[in-house]
Amino acid sequence: MMELFTTSDTSRDFPQGIGRWLLCRFRLLTDLTGQFVQFCTCLVTTPSLGNPAIKAVLLKQIYFTGLEAWKIIVVVALILGTVIVSQVVGLVGTDNGSLTGKVLVWVVLRELAPLLTAMIVIARSGTAIATELGSMKINREIDTLELMGIPAERYLILPRIMGVTTSICFLTAYFVLTSFIGSFLIVSVGRHIPYDQFLQGIVSSLGLREVVVLVVKSVSFGIAITLICCQAGMSVGSSATEVPQAATRAVINSLFTVFLLDGLITYLASLL
């Protein structure tokens, strides 16, 4: 009898849990849409990025997100490119350098470069943004800015979105170039892959659609990551224990959104 009641309670909790999850995602989507509208409004109105204070925050965000992450990008890109080229050469041999170049374009440029770059940015800058804004919210620094007539979305959110998005675009391009050039130089020393075949494979499979998809993914990932992390930080209440919870929530939601956008953009690109 007890098992019957337990099973019944569990069966009722399951759809309720799904409903709560969907409701939370809907609220998150609503908040992110509102912040995105505010971002677009701030971007086209004055004062915007031309303001010295906002420009200073923008440059600091680019330095932290972009310049300080290039070492990690180099290491990951070299390792990834070397592994992919080694596996392809092991399967098809050293005489088919054209296929090796094509696989690099298909795997690295189309998928892994923007995806791994976004994950690195989430781990480094996403948590930092959520923690910083959460601490500012607890210390009432954001309220002070509002009392001084400085909108938080203009001074705190706008430069971070622009800085993170710009950094992801450049880091993704840097990831692709490092993976292509570095992996070929490393593997060609031991495997002697013909350079002309390798370059021919890259050129034949690299078109305008691949470049456009790469840019669209980079921009979409940058905007989505920053909006989610800013929303997580701004949602902190008055307790310091909410700051690490906001950082964790920002990372989880950012990863989920990035993978969702990656699949959606890839599917739409395949229809073109």
* Residue 260, domain member (yes or no): yes
**For residues 82 and 182, what is the distance between their CA atoms, to the nearest angstrom?**
8
Task: Please tell me the predicted confidence (pLDDT) of residue 167.
Answer: 94
* Residue 225, domain member (yes or no): yes
Q: Mean pLDDT per segment of 10 residues, for the chain of length 272 residues? A: 46 63 65 65 62 84 90 90 82 73 86 94 92 89 80 82 93 92 74 74 84 93 92 83 89 91 91 80
Inter-residue contact 127 to 228 (CB < 8 Å): no
What DSSP designation does 67 have?
G
Mind listing the pLDDT tens digit for each residue in 44-103? 665 566 678 788 888 999 999 988 888 899 999 988 888 888 888 777 776 676 788 888
CA 103 to each of CA 95, 109, 190, 214: distance values in angstroms, whole numbers, following the listed order = 15, 9, 19, 16
* Residue 169, domain member (yes or no): yes
* Residue 142, domain member (yes or no): yes
Domain that holds residue 147: 54-81+113-176+211-271
**For residues 85 and 83, what is the distance between their CA atoms, to the nearest angstrom?**
6
* Residue 24, domain member (yes or no): no
Residue 45 zone, left/alpha/beta (φ > 0; ψ -120 to 50; rest):
beta
**For residues 251 and 272, what is the distance between their CA atoms, to the nearest angstrom?**
32
Q: What is the pTM of this model?
A: 0.83
* Residue 8, domain member (yes or no): no
Chain center to CA of 81: 20
* Residue 4, domain member (yes or no): no
Inter-residue contact 179 to 104 (CB < 8 Å): yes
Task: Please tell me the predicted confidence (pLDDT) of residue 226.
Answer: 92
* Residue 233, domain member (yes or no): yes
Name the domain count of the chain. Answer: 1
Task: Please tell me the predicted confidence (pLDDT) of residue 2.
Answer: 43
**For residues 39 and 191, what is the distance between their CA atoms, to the nearest angstrom?**
50
